Amino acid sequence: MSEMFRFADELGPEKIIHVYQPALGLKAVLVVDNTAAGPALGGIRMAPDVSTVECFRLARAMTFKNAAAGLPHGGGKMVVFADPKMEPAAKEQLMRALACSLKEEKDYIFAPDMGTEEQCMAWVKGEMDRVVALPKELGGIPLDEIGATGWGLSHAAEIAAGFCQLPLAGARLVVQGFGAVGKHVARFLAEKGAVLVGVADSRGALYSSKGLDVAALLCLKESGASVIDYPAGEKRERDAVVGFASDIWIPAARPDVVHELNVAQLQARLVVQGANIPFSSGAEAILHQRGIMCVPDFIANAGGVICAAMEYRGAGEHAALEAIREKVSANTHQVLEEACRKGCQPREAAAAMALRRVKKAMSYRRWHRQES
């Protein structure tokens, strides 16, 4: 029996498809976890060291993320076993061959993830239509350029700040990571009156209790410099950002940055997770005991996937941003209200909400198991 059946449960995975084209060196695995709400949406990860089990876990995370976001999509993921930095001509051949192999697989919509970018989606589009995150010229919405995820995060922060009785005007903000997610959430929250007092990128951290000029930092990053090249403020080593005093702390860099060993350094009233799994579960439990509210990643950072789902339906940028605002605000409110009422962690309330939605969607299927 396949080792995957060890992981199978009442939700899925529905299908695992192995794609193999030895002449091209194409080896890929598609996991369609659950399609009760609609065709599975989840990115294609290209890396030499991914596994089928990892692909399943990522697909399951998409089932929950899409359900939590209230999208008409189930969860899926694809991994391609290859070096993403290969020659563009070879990468084009690989992506086109992958698209041709799965042309008839209507339960999965191609999307980018680590190692596959907009250009790859354009090659897929040349072979078939079930693909999102396309270049503008092919009807795509440039989600990183417009800051789709940062826009959603800013609304999650606004709703959560209300639960903490924390006025956004004057709130001290710290953002870890100043890329596609971090720089835009800093910009949107500064527009709402928050004061950016700390920031970090891969080269170091910067702090100023008087506040940092977000526009100047954006110019600096645009020119290829680091936040530590900012002409004022205190320069610190990269991970010192965890201990910067703030009201709102936003991880927008890497997974596992806050764990049981450094969570005690965190001095904030509210954490809004931009990166995927930035905190260990132990660290989140400690924050909960300390009374620090933490909006979980798959609720707060759903802006990107909502944008992709809107693009798939032919929506433009304005409609996509409005859908992100509405969905992320409503879901953050529902999760925090339930967490406060039950006295549980927001992540538990969010997972329960997503599971309820997946099961409800499954109950509309022709074949489904009655709940006893």
Q: Is 91 a catalytic residue?
A: no
Interaction between residue 311 and ligand NAD (CB under 6 A)? no
Give dist(CA 28, CA 48) in Å, integer: 11
CB environment 102-120: b (16+ within 10 A), e (fewer): beebebbbbbbbebbbbeb
Q: 173: which strand partners?
A: 196, 248
Give the footprint of ligand NAD on residues 198-217 (CB under 6 A).
Answer: 200-202
Give dist(CA 140, CA 132) in Å, integer: 7
Interaction between residue 142 and ligand NAD (CB under 6 A)? no
Q: Shortest distance, CB of residue 30 to ligand NAD, whole angstroms? A: 20
Interaction between residue 43 and ligand NAD (CB under 6 A)? no
Q: Shortest distance, CB of residue 342 to ligand NAD, whole angstroms? A: 27
Interaction between residue 242 and ligand NAD (CB under 6 A)? no
Interaction between residue 331 and ligand NAD (CB under 6 A)? no
Q: Of residues 42, 76, 177, 198, which one binds ligand NAD by CB under 6 A? A: 177
Largest CA distance in the chain: 64
Q: Kindly tell me which of 253 and 336 has the beta carbon lying closer to ligand NAD.
A: 253
Q: Of residues 254, 290, 342, 360, which one binds ligand NAD by CB under 6 A? A: 254
Q: Shortest distance, CB of residue 109 to ligand NAD, whole angstroms? A: 16
Residues 6+ apart with CB under 8 A from 82: 25, 26, 27, 46, 47, 48, 94
Q: Of residues 79, 304, 323, 353, which one binds ligand NAD by CB under 6 A? A: 304
Give dist(CA 212, CA 227) in Å, integer: 10
Contact 117, 144 (CB under 8 A): no
Dihedral sign from CA coordinates of 372, 6, 367, 37: positive
Residue listed under structure tokens 């707060």: 300
Catalytic annotation, pick one of 15, 27, 65, 77: 77
Q: Shortest distance, CB of residue 233 to ligand NAD, whole angstroms? A: 16
Interaction between residue 173 and ligand NAD (CB under 6 A)? no
Angstrom CA distances, 297 to 137, 255, 366, stand at 31, 11, 33
Q: Of residues 25, 135, 179, 243, which one binds ligand NAD by CB under 6 A? A: 179
Q: Which stretch binds ligand NAD (CB under 6 A): 35-43, 188-196, 197-205, 355-363?
A: 197-205
Interaction between residue 252 and ligand NAD (CB under 6 A)? yes
Question: Which tokens belong to 282?
Answer: 């132990």
Active site residues: 77
The site for ligand NAD (CB under 6 A) is made up of 143-144, 149, 176-182, 200-202, 238, 252-254, 274-276, 301, 304
